[in-house]
Structure 1
Amino acid sequence: MKNRREQDLRTSPSHIKDCEPLLYSIVNSLPSMIGYWDKDLHCHFANNAYTFWFDKHPKEIIGMTFKELAGEKIFTDNTPYIRKVLAGEAQHFEKTLKKANGKLGHIIGHYIPDFDAQGHVQGFSILANEVTDLKETEAQLKLAACVFENTLDGVLITDSNGLILSVNPAFIEITGYSEAEVLNQNPRILKSNRHDAAFYAAMWEDIKTKGQWKGKVWNRRKNGDLYLERMTISMVRNGDGEAIRYVSVFSDITALWHKDEYIKHLAFHDALTNLPNRTALIKTIDQKLENLYHDTYNFALMFLDLDGFKKVNDHYGHDIGDKLLQEIAKRLLSLVRQSDTIARVGGDEFIFILNNPKGKEEIKHVAQRIIDSLNQPIIIEEAHLQVGTSIGIALSPQHGHTSDMLIKNADTAMYTAKSRGENNLSFFSN
């Protein structure tokens, strides 16, 4: 009985094979699955595209029921659409199917009802377009959009003329500008003016020749604050190699820069008084000694040791002692010229470098000003404190050609001054 029905379907005058050969050839060569099923769900036509999905020749499919071809699961999944199309409602849906080769494919399906002259549904046409590549591209775009929206790095995209097309939430967070404020603007609105024209020229030369630039840039937030960013700018080309987009990805490293600068600062400065430490002092002295051989440059190195500081520490405690040292550092700084240097090299020891003095009288005058200043009472948390200082002085180049020798000789002179009583000064004597 079934074989006779299949033969009737193949020879039916209504069968699409009876259409013009050209139309049949076109339909049969399309990559989309095109078929026709009657209201009893028997196939009247299937084009060649079905072969790739069901591994059956169209001639084998004609006469088969929908369930026989698709299998129990696909048939069950499609039953709601079949009922509606047989009720006269066109259907549109998306499905994932397994191809004959075992790979999954994504289709967009259309069920289109076929009405007779009386308006009754006598069957329906099927059009199923494979959109696997599009769905994969869509998934990739969704992933890219998710990354774009959620990355902690700022992202800025411009057209080939440098006008901003898109920014992500991190850009808004870092710069303080809203998306509406920057769209169609040039990124120069972020410019800090801390880089010269040569810097930007070199940047764009790299972008044009290498397609990318990486580096650090100072920019300015909407509120005027400067920030340092680590940035990558990439050129996006079209198929002809022409630049169509520029993508800038950047992270705000201002806090890291400040931390790094602070660590560098600590390496050369005393943590309590913020004065240069022994390392920085020796570096300064060595530089001056190098200049000495070129410019007949000379200086006086004064070694200061506080008189009475231990008593303050023992009586009032280290907190008061630390605050006293900070106040002494301020007083010493008030006596320093721009060309001079003051450093803390020990607990209560300081070194004062007087640049290019006119002679011993000027050195003695400055040393006495230091003694007089530090001998003035200091009030800290209602405690009235008073200390003095003993100063030993070594002259360059007379008293040494190295930093170690000059410091050692000034230290020796300081002990000589201290032996004479508080608030004294002494020059090193060979």
Structure 2
Amino acid sequence: MNLKLILFIVILCLGCLSYSQDIVITEVEIEGNKRTKTKFLKRLAFVKRGSVVDSTIIAADVRRFKLLASVASASSKLEKIEDENYRLIYTIVENFAIIPGLNVSQDNNDDFAFRTSVFDFNFLGQNQILGGFYARNVFDSYGFYWEAPNLFTRKLGVGINYQNNVLQDPIFFEDGRDVNYKSTSSAFELRLMYEHNFKNRFEIGINVANEDYNYLSGNLPQSIPEKLGVDRVRVVGEYEHNNITNEYQYIDGFRSVFTYSFTLHSNGDNALLRNFFIGRNDFEYFKRIGNKGNWANRLRLGYATNDTTPFAPFALDNQLNLRGVGNTIDRGTASVVLNTEYRHTILEKGWFAMQANAFIDAGTWQEPGGNLGDLIEGEKASAFTGLGVRFIHKRIFNAVFRIDYGVGIGKKANNGIVFGIGQYF
């Protein structure tokens, strides 16, 4: 009797196994893409012809497509063709990815400043970035970029850029005086880019630069020369952990971006310019609130080892960290900045969306020659709050025109309007 029971169970299990075969995808199709190459998209996707159906891997492919500059939205659909044959269809909604840019601001002479650019974020239909910029901020600057993150394999690529930035830089001293220099930086950079998986990406490269400072105006201390210059060779890089999902103007998830620069070799006529390490980490957290709300947060930490020079790398500036503070009003060798804002879509129709936002920006700085305790003591702390508006073209990559007005909280009486292209963070 026991033998019959055992035999029945074995037959039943074998029968179940025969009916639990994995579903195999016999066709993979991509539709909706016009400029983005189908071959390129299939190269990025994990699911191939002959793959077993796995909903988590399909969802990962959809998320990967959404992260591309050329893709506004993506979805998937599984269809049964005949018998046990299944077709997987990815549907792509493309962004327009050739983007002209124009940022207008006020320079350090309180005159008109602007930056104009043209970038193709889907060059050759493979989401390569090609473009350049020209800027007028007291002096003329320009730069050229080419990035191909998937040039060699689906994970390995390269980036090249050249920048010639010429600015009027205010340098601040402990005794309260400030001096204006003309800073000229010419730099060529080559980077290798490696995408370990959809969430983790690495970059490492070499930056060769020449930097010069020439005195323009102000009460210059006797210990500081009128002309300074240095040639550098630096290792530069970036590590990004990205667990962000996005659907048009809405963003959800966490991202961390660490960037660094380490000097291998430098020579010049003054040690004041010989930076050795500069590091910055942006922690970003986004949360969808209901159907139309988005809570956005950024914690930015910066540290540099050139802590005895007034030529500090971290600037306190409207466009970089605190909206309303003004145009480069201070510098530091370490910084902690927190930006938080609530974005709410107040109008959405077809390709267009309009958001209103309320924000708080706060930060504290370590003065040149100071110590990390300066960050805790808060003597250099600033906080601003304000309101803003966003005009968004949903089918053009990063086509967000923003206007914010910030007002100082506490001792800081500064206030002002800030506008530009793209979300503030």
TM-score by length of 1: 0.22
Structure of higher CA gyration radius:
1
TM (norm. structure 2) is: 0.23
Higher helix proportion, which one? 1
